[in-house]
Amino acid sequence: MRKLFLLLTLVLLPAAAMQAKTLDARASYLWSSDKNQATASLSVAPTYNTQAGVVVRYVKDMQDYAFGRLKDPIYSVYVPMLFQFELLDVELTPFYYFKHNAENPAYQDAYAYGATAALTMLMENDQVNDIYTRARLGASYARQQGTLFTKNAAPENTDYDQVAYFLQLSHSMFQAYRLEAMGAAFQYPDGITDVTAWRGVLNQQDLASLQTLDITRDLRKYALGGRFVRTWAESGSALYIGYSFTENYTADPDHSFIIGNSFPIVKNVFFDIAYNHIETTSHKNKRDIFYLGLAAAF
């Protein structure tokens, strides 16, 4: 699997870049009291209706976990692809987490791989009043190697499968406002009964992203979220606020509140800044996350 991603990155992407119509580069940094994350990506559009890219991500835990330490950084790579047709867009994003060595001999090394696929359809197209509605429907699959904790049983070093299904609706009006609603449900083919914790490297956001910047490895049950976006088409700026609620199997439910601003610095260069506050329904666990992003188009 690792060789496959390296081949895609080193052969297909540079070949596409040589004939690309557009080239986009992005970098971002996210930090909180318990985790830091750095992400860099490059995408090209070799034709009018296709895009391909590569994303690399670094995550560093700043605190110890109760079920074993993740002392070393976690590295992952993604290969997003987009195919645009007349009636819908097709997305496919394979990903791979490189092996993370366990410091505690009681736990096995951890890694993960999987893919996300989605279809985006134009549901409403009122060009007279500038009103559009889009639906994005998708599914994700991941397989992890790690350690499973269950009630009344010893920790088990095993492989573990996950599946997620998600739906996102976006309604834009007058090129100035956009309303978004999202939902996701998670399934565990290997079973979830009596599971209390999972020690692995996969960020659950890779399966379904819902109005939060949180890096979480807790096993989710379902999530619901929404966002309001105010845009200024003449400048390319946007101001957004969002909320999501997540029910988990291995953690307390989470409420997430996010606010952010995206705006151009110079022509074709955009800056994005966001703040995310997360707390559990019991108010016992609160997290503040800060995000900075930079994007450039050539």
pLDDT single digits (tens) 41-64: 999 988 889 999 999 999 998 876
Higher pLDDT, 236 or 13: 236
CB burial of 209-236 (b: ≥16 within 10 Å; e: otherwise) equals bbbbbbbbbebbbbbbbbbebebeeeee
Residue 240 has pLDDT above 70, yes or no: yes
| Mean local confidence (pLDDT), 108-134 | 88
Where on the phi/psi map is residue 191: left (φ > 0), alpha (ψ -120 to 50), or beta?
left
Give the integer Cα–Cα distance in Å for 163 and 114: 10
The pLDDT-based confidence of 134 (bands split at 50, 70, 90) is very high
Give the integer Cα–Cα distance in Å for 76 and 46: 25
State the burial class of residue 181 (Cβ atoms within 10 Å of its Cβ: 0-12, 13-18, 19+).
middle
* 87-92 own/partner pairs: CB under 8 Å, 24+ apart: 87/121, 87/122, 88/119, 88/120, 88/121, 88/122, 89/119, 89/120, 90/117, 90/118, 90/119, 91/116, 91/117, 91/118, 91/119, 91/120, 91/138, 92/116, 92/117
Where on the phi/psi map is residue 218: left (φ > 0), alpha (ψ -120 to 50), or beta?
beta
Domains of the chain are 2-297 (2.40.160.60)
Residue 11 has pLDDT above 70, yes or no: no
| Mean local confidence (pLDDT), 128-138 | 87
| Mean local confidence (pLDDT), 5-17 | 45
Residue 154 in 3-state DSSP? coil
Residue 297 in 3-state DSSP? strand
The pLDDT-based confidence of 165 (bands split at 50, 70, 90) is very high
The answer to whether 273 touches 258, Cβ cutoff 8 Å, is no
The pLDDT-based confidence of 13 (bands split at 50, 70, 90) is very low
The pLDDT-based confidence of 3 (bands split at 50, 70, 90) is very low
Residue 129 has pLDDT above 50, yes or no: yes
Its sign, for the CA torsion 39, 17, 136, 123, is positive
Q: 């659950």: which residue's tokens?
A: 204
DSSP assignment letter at 105? T
Residue 30 has pLDDT above 60, yes or no: yes
Q: Collect all residues with Cβ–Cβ distance below 8 Å to 106 and sequence separation of at least 6.
A: 68, 147, 155
Higher pLDDT, 12 or 39: 39
Backbone angles phi and psi of 16, in degrees to 5: -70, -35
Q: Are strands 195-199 and 156-173 parallel, antiparallel or unpaired?
A: unpaired
pLDDT the model gives residue 128: 67
Residue 16 has pLDDT above 60, yes or no: no
pLDDT the model gives residue 68: 61
Give the integer Cα–Cα distance in Å for 206 and 215: 10
* Chain mean pLDDT for the chain: 88
pLDDT the model gives residue 175: 82
Residue 181 in 3-state DSSP? strand
Higher pLDDT, 285 or 27: 27
Give the integer Cα–Cα distance in Å for 219 and 142: 12
Residue 74 has pLDDT above 70, yes or no: yes
Which tens digit of pLDDT belongs to each residue from 197-235? 999 999 999 999 888 999 999 999 999 999 999 999 888
Residue 33 in 3-state DSSP? coil
Residue 8 has pLDDT above 60, yes or no: no
Higher pLDDT, 81 or 11: 81
| Mean local confidence (pLDDT), 120-127 | 84
The pLDDT-based confidence of 66 (bands split at 50, 70, 90) is low
Could you tell me how far CA 128 lies from the centroid of its own chain? 34
